[in-house]
Amino acid sequence: SSAVAYGEMWRSTLRHIGGQFGTGIQSYFNFLRFLVLMNFVASLLVAGFVIAPNAAFEALSLNRTTHQNSSLGEGNFKSSSTHPRQNYSSRNHLLFSLLPTFRRSVYCLKRSLVSEDASLGSYSNKVFAGWDFGLVEHKAAQLKHKSIRYELRMDLEEEAVRRRQAEMTTAQRTRLYVFRGVLNILVLGLLGGSFYCIYLATDSQVKGQFALELLVAYLPSVVITAANLIVPMIFEVIVQLEKYPLSFQIKITLLRSVFLRLASLVVLLISLWSQITCGGDPQNPECQKCGYNNHLHPCWETSVGQEMYRLMIFDLLVMLLVMLFVEFPRKLLVTAFPSCPLLKFWGQQEFVVPANVLDLVYGQTLCWTGVLFCPLLPVLNTIKYIVVFYLKKLTLYANCRPAERTFRASSSNFFFLLVLLLGLAISCVPALYSILPPSKACGPFRGEPTMWNTVSSAISELPRTARDFFGYVGSIAFAVPLFLLLSILMFFLKALADSYSSVVKGLKWQLRLVSGS
């Protein structure tokens, strides 16, 4: 009952946020709650498949002890040939994360497809069918009234932008497209410069002085965090100059910023790969002995996990610093000196939905990317997102004002989850590391030719019937009929969707005729 009451408390908070600041900001907190629940269940998987077996094996003295500096990396987890299931927890975590994310994406996609045609009934649906007649409290009714008002403002703003674009001449359109092209070249330059700085920071090596070694160790995290903090601000200015509709501004800003953050992780992983594999040269003297650079990275799994751990810590630290030294002082200055021209122009802070959603996607991608090498990241991410929920709620009510430009929740929810799916795809990049020889002196995969060899070893210990079943599932005799069946199913669903779409369009056309008459 306490868990249900806690969930009800969050639901009440989200409803109040939706009425006070609009459904767009409410969609951010809904998205954050979804990530908290998903990470919490993933933490249970980690506890059941990693922490508990490892603690049991250590207590029973079934494994040799392995010591590493990192308390979170793979080096601290013991190697066991009799209990290989603890090696699969990170893969189970990624598969588990895919299911709820994909299910929620499909649900939001269906809703967005139904509501994407704003040419009919956009206003009448909200006016005549948007009210919740189950509301009995006056305060709840006021919140619902504000929420509908924000949605209507959103519709009017987008309609005004479309009308202005429709009235533009050919010369004006040409100038606008050329100007957008120049701005996109500037965006590409910013992205390329950021990636090059990340590569240089990762490739830097200093030995002999502890302070410099510590600075260089944290330099990639500092550079990535700085790029993720500064470059999206420039993107916000650029997108205002491009004169897109507001809904498309949200998407293009998210797309550029997501590409920056996720591609930054890819650049970091590629740079680490180059260091671990000696630039892909197996004949390099430093890689000939172990198959990887054991001088620079004695336990390379821990090195990769440490980078993801540092990035997660820096992500939370930057959010706290911005809140303490930027958002609260800005609120105090604007309130204390309302007549100051500069502060009046600066104004009170708005809660920008795309930037905050991007922070969540980036943090979740860090968790997924590093879970193979740092199994406790889902536990840390759960705690982090719970803290973020209350901190964002605090800054929303204490520092922010209702946005001048509101955001539509119906069209943004699906895009948020689509970006999250993209982050999940990027997190599969570390699977390429599994083709490397595991570290010889640490980690649960030591002594194996590759990480994936544990799968075949575990299957070989199963009964004969189970071995034959998995052998058939992995054969072409199973894959080809499955592919054909899925193709037929996909074409059937596509035809069914087209028929439903034609029926919906026909009904909308009839309603348009009735409303016009």
State residue 186's pLDDT score.
Answer: 94
Contact between 297 and 440 under an 8 Å Cβ cutoff? The reply is no
SS3 62: coil
Tokens of 67: 């010591």
Distance CA 395, CA 355 (A): 15
DSSP string, 82-104: S-GGGGGHHHHHHHHHHHHHHHH
Burial class (CB in 10 A: 0-12, 13-18, 19+), 513: exposed
Rounded CA separation 244/239 (Å)? 8
Instruction: Give me the pLDDT at residue 171, please.
Output: 87
* Cα–Cα distance for residue pair 355/349, rounded to 1 Å: 13
Task: Write down the pTM of the prediction.
Answer: 0.75
Angle between helices 377-399 and 23-46 (to 10 degrees): 160
Question: Which residues are registered as beta bridge partners of 349?
Answer: 400
Place of tokens 């429709």: 166
Secondary structure element (H or E) that encloses residue 350, with its range: strand 349-350
**What SS3 class is residue 410?**
helix
Round to whole Å and give the CA distance between 170 and 160: 19
Q: Which of 358, 437, 380 is nearest to 40 (CA)?
A: 380
pLDDT of residue 206: 66
Q: Which residues contact 47 (CB under 8 A, 6 or more apart)?
A: 379
Are the C-beta atoms of residues 246 and 157 closer than 8 Å to each other?
Answer: yes
Cα–Cα dist 159/409, whole Å: 17
Residue range 135-147, pLDDT digits in tens: 666 766 776 777 6
CB count within 10 Å of CB 159 equals 14
β pairing state of 400-401 and 349-350: parallel
User: For the chain (length 517 residues), average pLDDT per consecutive 10?
Assistant: 52 79 78 87 81 74 45 47 44 58 58 51 69 66 73 76 82 88 93 90 72 79 88 88 78 82 85 80 76 78 85 88 86 83 77 81 86 85 92 88 58 68 76 72 74 77 85 83 86 79 78 64
Which pLDDT score is estimated for 140? 60
In this prediction, residue 94 carries a pLDDT of 55
Query: What pLDDT score was predicted for residue 453?
Result: 76
Written as six digits, the tokens of 289 are: 């002995």
127 vs 514: CA distance, rounded Å:
18
| DSSP track, 345-359 | HH-SEE--HHHHHHH
Q: Map residue 189 onto helix, strand or coil.
A: helix
At residue 374's C-alpha, the angle toward residues 370 and 378, to 5°, is 75
Distance of alpha carbon 183 from alpha carbon 237, whole angstroms: 11
Q: Which residues, in sequence order, are CB contacts of 149 under 8 Å at separation 6+?
A: none
Predicted pLDDT of residue 433: 66
3-state secondary structure (DSSP) of residue 160: helix
3-state secondary structure 430-476: HHHHHHCCCCCCCCCCCCCCCCCHHHHHHHHCCCHHHHHHHHHHCCH
CB atoms within 10 A of CB 109: 15
CA atoms within 13 A on the CB side of 507: 9
Please state, in angstroms and rounded to a whole number, the distance separating the CA atoms of residues 93 and 326: 36
Q: What is the pLDDT of residue 384?
A: 92
